[in-house]
Amino acid sequence: MAKKAMLIGCNYPGTKIELRGCVNDVRRMNNCLIERYGFSDNDITVLIDTDPSCIQPTGKNIRSAIKKMVRSAELGDALFIHYSGHGTRLPAETGEADDTGYDECIVPCDMNLIIDDDFREFVKEVPEGCKIKIVADSCHSGGLIRDAKEQIGDSTNTKIQEQGNYHQDLGSSFGFRRFLLQRMEQEIESRGIHIPSAFRHRRRRHHEEEDKEEEEEEDEIEMLKQKTGKDDIDVGKLRLTLFDIIKEDASPKVKKFIKFVFNKLQHHGGESEKQEGGFLEMVGSLAIKFLKQKLNENEEYAEPAMETNVANNQEVYAGAGKDRVVGGGILISGCQSDQKSADANPPGNPGKAYGAFSNAIQLIIQETDAQVTNQELVLKARKLLKSQGFTQEPGLHCSDHHLHRTFVC
């Protein structure tokens, strides 16, 4: 049996959304795996963005490293992935009446988002008899492989409730917009964007540092603006902007969206098959106009997405059409799908910054001498974070037989 790990830390140095503790989290976990759990240094792949000599945690590099690890796995192997960095949610953008969910994502250093559907595909490729554990210390991480059984948390219930509310309000475009705006007001502060965007999420600082850091913190949409030099990025243009800067290396889910919009433009003149008017139609029309403009400039603009297979519309919709993940997939998340994870900065010692959840894991491993189960770790982390003043609630998604297994075998 082999133990293999991939550790990903994104501090986004030099950007408006820079974090301080994520690379520290990776270094601590690297030492922990070697000293506490017997991993070989040769079997740990580290991707960080603060050292040019290391593999950079770009979307392409992360996908490539995960695929390599999964495809080389054999019967009995244990695979471990730890991510510390920004997380976000992409709202629905097709303009279709039944596309009303979110895609939960992690945010690599180049903004080439890795979406929950991507993680689902990684887990499905794990050979039978192997297990893969994903520890995600990022905002909205409770939804990354949400189709695994939720043992601790309420991300699934929240998602169902949200979707129910969406459908209740679909008869009124104003009702849907009002509901979405209410959700956005709970999660973000508008910075002059025309339509409040669920893409705008930031990791919360420690409560003692929050006020001081508020003006310095920026979110992922600011990084997109920084990369593109454009200020008109909004709901309806998020996936298209990602494709515009990433092209063939973009997430398969983003490519499916491009192909969907292209086909709608070609076959329906850009009109939604289910016309509801109002906010939904406005969001969908932004995507159509953006792609149409790009195709007028370059007829082959969408070619990198055309080979992507799209079996049905549900494969494109945000947060929809997912199969249940079975087997060895385990997700330990730093928070629920509608929450944020904290990046903590100890007063007077910025070099010791850390992700609150990653730090909790290390403290619990030390306290238990590494003899802690998945369930115990998450329950202890919830209690510890609450005692420290954090509001995030870690979660556990896995099949029943992994509930009482050791955190790292």
Q: Which member of 22, 82, 86, 201 is catalytic? A: 86
Q: Are 391 and 139 in contact (CB under 8 A)?
A: no
Q: Which string of DSSP letters, residue by residue, matches 137-196?
A: ESTTGGGTTTTS-EEE-SHHHHHHHHHHHHHHHTT-HHHHHHHHHHHHHHH----S-SS-
Q: Which string of DSSP letters, residue by residue, matches 343-380?
A: EE--TT-GGG-EEHHHHHHHHHHHHHTT--BHHHHHHH
R_g (Cα) of the chain, nearest Å = 21
H/E stretch holding 205:
strand 204-205
The single-letter DSSP state of residue 276 is -
139 is catalytic: yes
Q: Which member of 139, 140, 201, 335 is catalytic? A: 139
Handedness of CA 151, 155, 157, 159 (dihedral sign): negative
22 is catalytic: no
Distance CA 160, CA 393 (A): 18
Catalytic amino acids? Answer: 86, 139
